Structure 1
């Protein structure tokens, strides 16, 4: 990935392009590179921003989805953003949901893909054999429909992360926080346009999760991507970008 990583005022982020802001939030085990094809496709027409969420830097007692939402608000204020379209994958979607409930005035629309917030088979739930590389490889591959998407580089990154004791403690704390913070009773309050772009073969947040989001969010639209797992923007970027482009056209003012 050839995008410049900026560091300012305690934030590390990518910012590409000009126009209305698209703010992308990565998942628990995600990285900025997960959004590479989205940046390439949309930065000619939008201001695309991706902050690194401080999952490993929060004090252990405050490690949780609410703390990440507060961090996102600080970043949005720092960059003076408004009329944001907020995109979140997995944990990033969950953080986005919490954020729009707290600060709806900053966000124009929401895009969720493989979002937690209702139910997830959390990869971060436990790591009984984290020293076993093949076990970790299997777990990473489980994220995708096509195991080949779990490249050696990706597996190596996850293996290194979960074998760092300080990081794994925070991953477990964050995963538990996400499970505790169920959004079911709050979703009806989110009345802005919401796009749900979901892998039909997602095993982490299965299809029934997308259906429930669609039923509970009053202004939502659900698109399916076949032969696709938990991270459509990585595994099926062309289809994901096609659905995202159509949604952005619908909400243009």
Structure 2
């Protein structure tokens, strides 16, 4: 769990991993033996989506938040293969670069699926998983849609769609409490998707993204898993959480009333308390709590 001293950074640094430049934020802790927690964002997002959790988690742990290739401030690579399994491997290789051995992953939406890939690839290093509104059971894009993505007009259409995309309306669709949507929030979420090269990354993700893990693959993830869902999640309905809990061997599901897909923005303190309790639970208790709250 020790971090190489030359990598003790304040937030906002870049690192080359598998020939891709990765932007990440590192929050040190006064306790050198503090647990390392890694935050993995979802689709059309970046490290910004964890901004409300950071004040709580950094009090207890060393925290790393990274932008995945193609998103946020990381490189919009034209050589990276944008598969979820590759993202999972990149997280492991990223940890190798920082000389970090044991971590707990917190993944939101698509980041949850990526975190499960990392956990499956490195079960001895990924100790626990926290999945927030985790994307699951999504199939690969159709062959016809993938074929269309190579047409010049497709890129133009995607660019036009992004430029016209109303970030405020998008935030309203992923939050239950509309009062949380401020101009500051709109600007924070708008900036990462405004870069011109972002469109090309989205298209590559459409082409490369394999289907989500099957039920049989999920059963191979043996680590303790905490799943947190908003009951009013319109992006990934709570029924997906129940199905995922059934397929994961060691999972607990917590559902928050009056909460949408961006659970981190709506219930940061409550979620942080659940995360801390889950991380610090005694080892002999981890296989017992399989209930839904």
Unpaired segments ≥5 residues, structure 1: none
1:6-85 equivalences under 5 Å are: 6-9=13-16, 10-16=21-27, 17=29, 18=31, 19-56=34-71, 57-59=76-78, 62-85=81-104
Q: Do the aligned residues in 2 keep the contact of 1:119 with 1:209 (CA within 8 Å)?
A: no
Task: Answer 1 or 2: which has greater helix percent.
Answer: 1
1:1-253 equivalences under 5 Å are: 4-9=11-16, 10-16=21-27, 17=29, 18=31, 19-56=34-71, 57-59=76-78, 62-119=81-138, 129-132=161-164, 135-156=166-187, 158-159=189-190, 161-162=192-193, 164-174=195-205, 177-178=208-209, 180-251=211-282
Give the deviation of 1:248 after TM superposition.
1.3
Q: Describe the superposition over 1:38-66 as per-residue Cα deviations: whole angstroms up to 9, x where unpaired.
A: 22112232111112211252326712322
Query: What TM-score results when the alignment is normalised by the length of structure 1?
Result: 0.85
- Inter-CA distance 118–28: structure 2 relative to 1 (3 Å threshold): same
How many residues align? The count is 246
Q: What is the distance in 1 between the residues matched to 2:209 and 2:230?
A: 20
Q: Do the aligned residues in 2 keep the contact of 1:87 with 1:112 (CA within 8 Å)?
A: yes
Root-mean-square deviation over aligned CA pairs = 2.7
- Inter-CA distance 31–252: structure 2 relative to 1 (3 Å threshold): farther
Q: Describe the superposition over 1:7-39 as per-residue Cα deviations: whole angstroms up to 9, x where unpaired.
A: 344442111124111111111222223222322
Larger of the two Rg values belongs to structure: 2
Query: What TM-score results when the alignment is normalised by the length of structure 2?
Result: 0.74
Secondary structure, aligned partner of 1:37: coil
